[in-house]
Structure 1
Amino acid sequence: MPQLRLSDEEYLRRRRTILERLGERGITGLIAFGPNNVSYFSRFGFIATERPIAYILTRDTSALLVPRLELEHAETFALVDRVTAYPEYPGERHPMEFLKDILVDLGLSRAKIGVDSDGYGRIYGYRGPRVSELLPDAEVITVVDDIEYMQMINSEEELALIRESARWGNLAHTYLQEYCKVGVSETEISMRASYEATQAMIRTLGPEYRPMSWGRAGAHAGFRGQIGKDSAFPHAMTSNARLKPGDVLVTGAGASVWGYGSELERTMIMGEPTPEQERYFNLMLEAQTLALNTIKPGIPCSAVDKEVMRFFKEHNLEENWRHHTGHAKSTLVHEAPFLDVGDHRLIEVGMVFTVEPGIYVPGLGGFRHSDTVAVTPDGIEMITYYPRDLESLTIPI
């Protein structure tokens, strides 16, 4: 049975690393407000609302500020030394005043403090003071780049969770392709495939499995509206279209495992492909293969996208271009760095990317595969592994 969660040592290692990085600049405390950042250091996953939640870290202690409704939740799951709860937002006393109490108690009122943002974000109507306003004698420094860089480099424990996600995304996609029939709606196909893959996942992994996601729990596969001519819209919205002969289908599949995910996308054809469909499919596959073969540690992210753009230009596909080659992937939908001509950060071992150059032909359809890959010392490890060839992705009718 694979390990289905991160160890306590993984979280403690992250804390040591961020404190070392910040300590080099004289920063003695850290405050994180972003849900992904809070959970990254504290193990506490939660639904972000207008009620602020903050994670505080120093060399001596770790603390969590939560609304009263999250108190028992945090005490049960958070890996911290102390949890403080405030009654409600906005409350008779603003939640950020409770945060100030913690910071003063920890001796941070005149310190250099690193933050992922200078206050809680303006979501769901939230309004409140910034940290720099709460502690005017402190020096508040944005350190989101430090946190983001740490999240770019995945440990072996993290990679294991991403691999497990890909395993169940692969099953969900297998069901999705199997259930594609003329006249059936995309919603019905997606719900059936996702449900059956999730049931198999739960039965196999047992009670140790935790999605750690407030969105999709388990495995999923679907089309998100990229059916027929609408597949030419890279970010189409579900329209409950019914499949027809000749449709180009662009799919997406994955699974949530302890908050980690993977991305698997394929282009499928309903019935025998036309010569035009076959041409664009094969060009897309060549472009993706080129990108996969280009990725290696030590080169800039931009180099991968430049190779794909060169390919597009050589084959007169520039008018069919819509987006960069890919993005990093672990706990969020899209993450930095990006396989983009404008991102010159160096590719490093442990980074995980989606590789998904697409070709979009108005009136015909879109052609895009996406695979999740991990960077290794010699190149890449293919984490997703669903068939990529046209024959395997042609659905008989």
Structure 2
Amino acid sequence: MNKKIIIAGGGTGGHIFPAIAIANALKQKQPGIEFLFVGAKGKMEMDRVPQAGYSIVGIDIAGLNRSSLIKNIGLPVKIIKSFFQVRKIFKDFKPDAVIGVGGYSTFPVLKQAQAKGIPTFIHESNSFAGKSNKMLSKGATRIFTGTDGMERFFPAEKITVTGNPVRKQIVEAAITKDKALAFFGLEANKTTLLVVGGSLGAKSINEAVLTGLDELLNAGLQVIWQTGKSLAAEAAQQAVLHKEVWANEFITNMEYAYAAADMVIARAGAMTVAEICVVKKPAIFVPYPFAAEDHQTVNAQQLVNKNAAIMVKDAEAKSSVVKMAVGLAADEHKRKEISANLSRLAITNAAERVADEILNTIK
């Protein structure tokens, strides 16, 4: 009989893209598998998952708001309601296994599966484990991690280090730099800087680039700029004024952006870090300081320790990140050295590794 699998999680591209990559790998190995994604209502997975060709159900769940305690008043009610919603989802779908990739919906879905004795699998992409995954780990069948050294968070005997699943269109991209630059309407003879703050944007990075744009352009750089909603209008205006600037809220074809780029300024979400390793582009990471347990700093530091990236603190971004970018653009030897070190860290088959482990367990 064909297996039924629930995949829970979302909130950011860093959770959604690995989830879709794992589903694709499972489907390729066993085409008859039936999938159902479970996400949080109002979050980006409710759009992105159907775009990838999968069904998704939304539940009423939210996380703890650390910046405003008063906004947490309705949280207990949402959590209780989500458990009732999950119970109905399980009754209707009858899953054979459940995979959690992180995000608000992961906890109630995996907790229900564990209570029912259904095999549960966790994928922890970050170098510092989230609270929900730590709480779920004792009841998990298997835990897949993006990096080694995760025994401090999870039972060692349950861990398999797989790396982080990178989107296939990035792993398998065969786009020439000239073609990619033409896609963005940029010139072939200039150093190209890709600025990307993750799927939701990054205020400090955007402000730094907006303030220092003339400095970047005067140094001979051209810019591909994913803004998110932060400063999107201002960035779009700069793109109209300067032919060396391409700006948009979201880059759908990231494989083209990476192919066009000589270097990157980015947040340090686990998936961005994994993609940077695969495409081997020198990066200046500006970790988001309010990420849970400051995990983005830990993600970036792992590459910095291997001379495979540069890191700037969020508070120092406005004063120093543009100067660093100009300096890195002028230092071709440094860029080649970082690229070589990144190539040793790249994992291109993480989704297949996860799929194999899951299928071997539930066969």
Settle same-fold status: TM greater than 0.5: no
Between 1 and 2, higher relative CO (CA 8 Å, sep ≥ 6) is seen in 2
- State which structure, 1 or 2, has the greater radius of gyration over its C-alpha atoms: 1
Task: Pick the structure with more helix per residue.
Answer: 2
TM-score, length-scaled by structure 1 = 0.34
